[in-house]
Every structure is written in C-alpha cells, then in structure tokens.
C-alpha cells in the first residue's frame, strides 16, 4: 500500500494506479475527519500538487503548455474522486451567520488553506467559492474542502465573483477575501466581529498602501482621493477594493450585490448612503499579494481600478449636483460670462 | 597640432584642403562673435543700447515707454534665444542696470523679458493686498496691470492708487473664489495674461519665466509645485485631488500642478479655446486645456520648504470645500465629454453575471 508516487506526472498505467490509490486515501481521510480536528482533515491527495510546483506563477489560461494539459486530466479525475467522497456539507451550515466569499481563478495551490482559514472565522460560517475561468482543478479542491462552489467556465472579470457570491450568501455578515492569499482566521475575525457586534456596516482593512514617498502608486492615490471626495478623509486610503473586508446584510441590501463587482462604486455607495464605514483592523495585503507578471502585462489592473474610481465619482456626482455635494453658492458665476 | 590631425583623420585633412579660404578668416569665424568685444557682458550691452537710444532722440525720463523701449532692445538682442534660464534672467537684470546707468537714471530694477507679444497681469486680491506684490509686477515689461480688489476697504485701494499704471477694479462685495480672473480678463486685450495673487509677494525674476514661456511656445504656464510636495502622507486633500485629476486625464507628468494655483499665465489663444468664463472655475479650465491638448509649461516658483503651504488633514474651510467641489465638477465635465471611465475602459468584467444573470 505504501508506495511512493513518482512525482513526475508520467501518464500511463502507473499514474492511473496512483490515482486509484489516492482515491482510497481520500476516502479514508474523509472517515477520519468526522472525529479528528480540521487540521488533520487535509486529504493526502494534495500531494498531487507536487509535480507542478514549478508552475507557481501560472495565472492565465493563454499560456498553456504540455505539462498543463496533463495536469487538467489529473484534476478532472480528482473532481470525480472529490465528489464521491467529500465531507458532506461541513462548511455549508443550514443557517449560517457568516458567509465568506472567495472569488477564485486558478488558485489550486492556495485555495485549500484559504478555505480552511475562512471556515474557522465563526462556528456557523459558510464558505462560498466562486470559481471562474479555472482549469487547474480549483473547483474540485474547493468542493472537496466542503465549500459551496459556484462555478463558471469562463472568467468573470476582476471582482465580479464578489457579486455572484454575495447574491448566494445567506449569512448576516459577508466577509470578502481573495483566493490567492492565506490570511489566518484570527486575523479575519476582527472584521466579522466589528459587523456582528460592533455596529459597523462596512468593516474595512486599515491598509492604505505605502504612502511614505513622494510619488505613490496611482491606485493608492485614487483611494485617498475617493475618500476625500466622499468627505471621509479619516478613512485615508482604505477601500472596499482591498481585502479582507466584511459587510452587514443591511449594507448589502443598500448597495446591492451588483455594485460589489466595482468595489470603489460599492464603497462610494456605502459612504454616501450613510452606512457605518470604518477601518477596523490592519492587514498588510501589499506584502501578501502575489506578483502577477503575465496578467499585469496583458491586462493591467492599475488602469481598471482607476476607471472604477472614476465610475464611483461619476455616480457620486449623479447623486448630487455635479459637485459631489460641495455646494458653490458664493461664486457669482453670472459675472464671469 | 597639425601632425595629430593627420594621424587622426586623413579624410578631414583632404576636405579642409579643398576649401580655399585664408587661414585668418577661418580663425575669426571660429570665435563666433559678430559684434565687437564690448558687448560680451550684458551690462555693457545695456550701456551700448542706451547710448544708441539717447542718440536717436528718445525722451530720457523713467517712464513706462522707456521700460518698453528697453525691453524691445533686449528682445532684439536675445534673438532666437528665448529660453528663460537662470542665467538669462541674471543677464537681463545686468542689462537693465547698464542701460539705466548709461542714461544717468536711478536704477528702477526693471527686468526685461524677451517677448514679442503684449502682456498684462491680472492680480486677484482683497483685504490682504500686499503692495510689494504689485511693485514686483511693475518691474516686468507688462503693458497693463489690472488689480481686482474684492471686498476690500479703502486702505488697500488708496495704497495702489499711488502706483502709476495700475488699473483697479474695486468691488465692495466678494465675487466668489476666482471669478475675479474672468472679470479682470475682460479689461485687457493683451496676448499673454499673467494671473497672480495680490497677497503673496513673488519676485519678478520668478514671474518672468511665465511670460517668456507663454510668449514663445506654451499655451499655459503653470506654477510647478512638485519640488515642494514632500511625502504623499503629508499632502493635503486638495493636492491629492489635483494629482489624481492629472493622472486620470493622462498627464501624470504634471503631478499636482494645477490651474487652480497662482501664479499662472495664459495665452489669448488658450483662453479663447477653453472659454473665458471657465476661468472662474479653474479646475474646469484645467480640464478643458488638457482635453484640447494645449501645451502646458511648468515654471518653478519657489524652493522646497520656502513659503510652503502647511500641509495637513482636510481643514474643511469654506474655500477648501469649494475647491474640492470644483475638481469634482472638472471630473464630471471630462466624464460627460469622454465617457464614464475616461480612457480606463473595463473590457474584462462580465457585468451581467455580477447582476445575477447567466453569463
């Protein structure tokens, strides 16, 4: 029974036998999970990651290589395995209080740990994983971990998964995190608690980006400016663009799930509608962000987020008088004509 | 010398032989001085030009017409070199000293600026008017100086009345922030218009580059604040908004320079393009100038830390709120012209799925 796997992903008879073997191991671990702690529940099948460890930076589907195809085959098999033996809806309680929403696109190397931490934020937490445009078996891993998986074959685009997840959420608190960074449950709890018992509607990450320099990143600039235009300079550079953040159900009803796809717009709505928006706890996500070399070259996030902020400012101006509520009564414009 | 030439380039030697010019004339042209060696310094040049002016029979009294005459000869002397470098400004003040010394007149500390178009200054001021600020303007070759005095008492008014050649618009009540720019503009037909703040003294040497820039090539000359910005964490909200506006209009090189700041200079052409009335809301004029792709020059005004505005959190005064509102108005105007997200389109999001539909 105790055969070591080749680890080089060679297709053929031998690897098939490995899969069968793995299936058994997973089933065994599922039995174990009912009694043992969650940490021990991590299935052995995760060792299938090993042959592909060299592909950590792989982010987009365009750059498929022969190795990639092999892996897809393996992951499909894994899916079969997972569906047959997943721990039955452990992370989807019947009446959840906290819904953790994780948009995912090809995050198989992180997703398991992310889900594990997310499920620990509250005793009645549901984990919703919105898998989109993934071909690396992320969905299978998420299902196996017991998360409620919503799957889209095509990529939805940046942050659209938040809207999808929020529409499906049943909890009183919605916690948004990313699938590509592991944040411990201990660090996530302050956000949930601020909303559950602190009277906060939108609990933001107190992270403003690096500002101790003359020229900052444009996104940092935009976040500061949006808060200033919303007359909330005290929020500095915090924003719903950054994870983690938690919102109350009341906030979700006011700002509507669709706006969550454009986080600065959701942020502007939350502040403008008079919801309690506070920065509650600092997590330096700048340090945790993965370098996305390929994505930044093909589809830079920077310009997308600046556009999002402009969309938010446009919305703000529409709600008021073109001047964002900063009234200009003293100016005698008629004299200037 | 001759040997080394032969070693380094045979081709050159051959070419030089073909030119049949005496060695002496070649040497003279290398020196590059067309006129006599007396004109090597700006001071002597001033003396020379003054001598010629006196011999032409021009009335020698310290008047505005003498200042214009001096400026014309300086412009002529500068020729195509119309850069406003530090050296040129130093030269022009030496020229002016030499000019006045030759005419046995007291030095007026006039500062000639090489320019070909007429220029005027519009000074915005109220109760806090500083006469020294107007006196600095009088040193420049401006055809007109128009002071817009808003909500000011009699004292500042009588103070400026003593200065010759200054037009005053005196208003009992306030016009509102920056409306004075548009009002002052109506009174002049000059080609280059310099806008300044009457309560801040800026030496003429620092204002001259604004005139020179607009006169030569730029449509607008803005005060360059980038040297005094410091760390982003210390910026105030208005500075941040200005920087964001420039960034989103595709002019991140301007950093936080804005038409909302004085001093600044506009060409008549630029004013006609953006519309004189939009100058009453400077960020809107700024947006319009960038949208029309006008040439914007940045002129250094002061050293970092000198006379720098205290930066800090949003102070929420009426004026600051007004300026923030002006910038939102500018952004709204840009969005109306160019669309929701300006040039930062969202091509990747599936918004139907976000709204709950099936993708």
Q: How many CB pairs under 8 A join A and B?
A: 182
Assigned domain for A45 exists: no
Query: Would residue A36 count as lying in a domain?
Result: no
Average the pLDDT over each of A110-114, B18-22, B46-50, B183-187 and give the range with the smallest value.
B18-22
Dump pLDDT digits (tens) for B94-140. Answer: 889 889 989 989 888 899 998 889 999 999 987 788 889 999 999 99
In total, chain A counts a number of residues equal to: 337
Specify the pLDDT at position A295.
Answer: 65
The continuous run of DSSP H or E covering B6 comes out as helix B2-8
Give residue A337's pLDDT.
Answer: 75
Interface confidence (ipTM) of the complex: 0.82
pTM beyond cutoff 0.95: no
Q: Higher-confidence residue: A225 or A337?
A: A225
Confidence of residue B303 (pLDDT cuts 50, 70, 90): low
Owner of token pair 């964002």:
A324
A302: pLDDT strictly greater than 50: yes
Q: What pLDDT is attached to residue B81?
A: 66
pLDDT of residue A75: 44
Residues of B in contact with A306 (CB under 8 A): 247-248, 344
Number of domains in chain A: 1
Both tokens assigned to B68: 């214009």
Average pLDDT over residues A277-293: 84
- Report H helices in B122-267: 131-138, 154-161, 179-186, 204-216, 237-248
Instruction: Confirm whether A141 is domain-assigned.
Output: yes
The domain in which residue A267 lies consists of: 61-319
Is the residue at A186 inside a domain? yes
Using 50, 70 and 90 to split pLDDT, how confident is the model at B172? confident
Residue pair B158/A312 in contact by the 8 Å Cβ criterion: no
Is the pLDDT score of A79 beyond 50? no
Alpha carbons B189 and B191: distance in angstroms, whole number: 7
Q: Tell me whether residue A258 is in a domain.
A: yes
- Give, in order, the Cα–Cα distances in Å from A57 to each of A52, A157, A243, B230, B257: 11, 19, 21, 36, 40
Q: Which residue among A158, A324, A331 sits closest to B349, beta carbon to beta carbon?
A: A158
Among A19-33, A90-104, A135-149, B232-246, where is mean pLDDT lowest?
A: A19-33
B262 touches chain A (CB under 8 A): no
Read off the CATH number of the domain in which A227 is found: 3.90.550.10
Q: Which long-range contacts (CB under 8 A, 24 or more apart) does B318-322 make?
A: B318/A330, B319/B177, B320/B237, B320/B238, B321/A326, B322/A326, B322/A328, B322/A330, B322/A331, B322/B177
Q: Is residue A289 part of a domain?
A: yes
Q: Name which of A155-169, B73-87, B194-208 the model is least confident about.
A: B73-87
- State how far the Cα of B99 lies from the Cα of B48, in Å rounded to an integer: 8
From chain A, pick out residues whose CB is under 8 angstroms from the CB of B335: 310, 313-314, 317
Q: What does the pLDDT look like over B247-273, one tens digit per residue?
A: 999 999 999 999 998 899 999 999 999
**A41: pLDDT strictly greater than 50:** no
Instruction: Sort out which chain B residues have CB atoms less than 8 A from A308's CB and list them.
Output: 341, 346
Is there a domain that residue A298 lies in?
Answer: yes
Q: Is residue A169 part of a domain?
A: yes
Task: Test A310 with B341 for CB contact under 8 angstroms.
Answer: yes
Nearest by CB to B329, from A214, A222, A323: name it: A323
- The pLDDT value recorded for residue B1 is 41
d(CA B132, CA B156): 12
For residue A24, the model assigns a pLDDT of 38
Are B135 and B194 in contact, with CB atoms under 8 Å apart? Answer: no
pLDDT: which is higher, A223 or B38: A223
pLDDT bucket at B228, cuts 50 / 70 / 90: confident
Average model confidence (pLDDT) across chain A: 77
């Amino acid at each position: 029974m105790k055969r070591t796997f080749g680890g080089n992903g060679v297709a053929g008879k031998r690897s098939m036998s490995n899969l069968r073997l793995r299936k058994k191991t997973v089933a065994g671990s599922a039995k174990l999970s009912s009694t043992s702690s969650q940490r021990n529940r991590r299935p052995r099948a995760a060792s299938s990651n090993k042959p592909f460890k060299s592909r950590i930076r792989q982010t987009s589907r365009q750059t498929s290589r022969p190795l990639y195809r092999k892996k897809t085959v393996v992951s499909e098999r894994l899916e079969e395995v997972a569906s047959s033996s997943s721990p039955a809806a452990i992370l989807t309680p019947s009446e959840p209080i906290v819904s953790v929403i994780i948009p995912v696109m090809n995050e198989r190397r992180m997703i398991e740990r992310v889900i594990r931490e997310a499920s620990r934020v509250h005793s009645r937490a549901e984990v919703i994983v919105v898998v989109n445009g993934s071909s690396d078996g992320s969905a299978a891993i998420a299902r196996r971990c017991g998360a409620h998986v919503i799957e889209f074959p095509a990529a939805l685009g940046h942050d659209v998964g938040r809207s999808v997840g929020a529409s499906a959420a049943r909890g009183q608190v919605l916690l948004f995190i990313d699938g590509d960074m592991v944040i411990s449950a201990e660090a996530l709890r302050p956000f949930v608690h601020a909303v559950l018992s602190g009277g906060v509607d939108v609990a933001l990450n107190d992270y403003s980006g690096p500002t101790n320099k003359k020229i900052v990143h444009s996104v940092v600039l935009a976040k500061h400016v949006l808060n200033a235009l919303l007359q909330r300079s005290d929020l500095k550079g915090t924003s719903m663009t950054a994870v983690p953040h938690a919102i109350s159900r009341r906030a979700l009803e006011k700002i509507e799930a669709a706006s969550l796809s454009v986080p600065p717009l959701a942020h502007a709505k939350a502040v403008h509608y008079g919801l309690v928006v506070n920065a509650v706890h600092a997590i330096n996500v700048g340090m945790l962000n993965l370098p996305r070399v390929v994505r930044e070259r093909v589809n830079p996030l920077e310009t997308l987020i600046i556009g999002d902020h402009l969309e938010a400012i446009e919305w703000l101006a529409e709600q008021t008088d073109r001047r964002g509520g900063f009234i200009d009564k003293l100016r005698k414009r008629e004299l200037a004509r | 010398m001759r040997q080394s030439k032969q070693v380094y380039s045979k081709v050159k030697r051959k070419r030089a032989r073909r030119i049949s010019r005496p060695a002496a004339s070649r040497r003279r042209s290398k020196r590059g001085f067309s006129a006599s060696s007396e004109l090597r310094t700006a001071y002597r040049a001033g003396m020379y030009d003054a001598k010629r002016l006196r011999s032409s029979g021009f009335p020698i009294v310290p008047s505005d017409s003498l200042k214009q005459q001096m400026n014309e000869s300086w412009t002529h002397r500068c020729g195509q070199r119309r850069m406003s470098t530090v050296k040129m400004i130093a030269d022009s003040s030496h020229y002016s000293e030499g000019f006045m010394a030759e005419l046995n007149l007291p030095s007026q500390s006039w500062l000639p600026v090489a320019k070909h178009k007429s220029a005027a200054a519009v000074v915005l001021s109220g109760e806090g008017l500083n006469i020294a600020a107007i006196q600095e303007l009088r040193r420049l070759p401006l055809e007109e100086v128009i002071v817009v005095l808003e909500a000011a008492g009699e004292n500042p008014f009588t103070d400026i009345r003593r200065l010759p050649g200054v037009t005053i618009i005196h208003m009992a009540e306030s016009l509102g922030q920056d409306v004075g720019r548009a009002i002052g503009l109506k009174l002049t037909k000059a080609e280059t218009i310099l806008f300044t703040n009457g309560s801040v003294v800026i030496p003429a040497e620092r204002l001259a580059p604004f005139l020179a820039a607009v006169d030569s090539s730029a449509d607008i000359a803005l005060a360059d604040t980038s040297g005094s910005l410091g760390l982003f964490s210390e910026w105030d909200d208005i500075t941040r908004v200005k920087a964001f506006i420039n960034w989103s209009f595709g002019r991140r090189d301007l950093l936080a320079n804005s038409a909302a700041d004085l001093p600044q200079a506009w060409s008549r052409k630029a004013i006609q393009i953006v519309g004189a009335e939009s100058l009453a809301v400077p960020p809107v004029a700024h947006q319009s100038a960038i949208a029309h792709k006008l040439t914007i020059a940045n002129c250094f005004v002061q050293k970092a830390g000198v006379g720098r505005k205290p930066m800090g959190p949003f102070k929420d005064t009426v004026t600051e709120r007004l300026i923030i509102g002006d910038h939102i108005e500018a952004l709204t105007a840009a969005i109306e012209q160019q669309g929701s997200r300006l040039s930062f389109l969202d091509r990747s999001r599936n918004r139907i799925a976000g709204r709950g539909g099936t993708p």
